[in-house]
Amino acid sequence: MREGIGFGGVFLAMVLALVAHDILRLVVARVWVERAVHQLTAQPIVRPAARPMPGVQPVVQRPPEIVGPMVARRGGHTAACINGIIASRKGNGWSDLEPRTRCIATTE
């Protein structure tokens, strides 16, 4: 009588199943990628050029220029520009204003 396929047969069947699965996965992935690339290259992306309206100049607001913390402390100022953010003098230090407002430091 026949005893069965044994360990070697089961191992070989599993290896073949894994190889077949991997080949099928690679084929499906390649077909999917080729279709996606074809769709992307078939239709060029056309973006309209951004043109300002005639007679209208774009408004660019510069952050306020404020002295830095060292000069503000020596001069008794109540506000200073620290790391590009306006801070106000509070007791023995500085506190950020809410909402945080950008600034340009003119001194140290």
Exposed (0-12), middle (13-18) or buried (19+): which is 87, by Cβ within 10 Å?
A: buried
Dump pLDDT digits (tens) for 32-73.
999 988 888 877 767 777 776 777 776 778 888 889 888 888
Domain-wise residue ranges, the chain = 1-43, 65-105
Is the model's pTM score more than 0.85? no
Coil, strand or helix: which one is 88?
strand
Bond preceding residue 64 cis, omega within 30 of 0:
no
Report pLDDT for 63: 86
| pLDDT (tens digit per residue) in 87-107 | 988 887 888 877 788 888 888
* R_g over Cα of the chain: 35
- Between residues 41 and 80, which one has the greater pLDDT? 80
Which token pair is 2?
């026949």
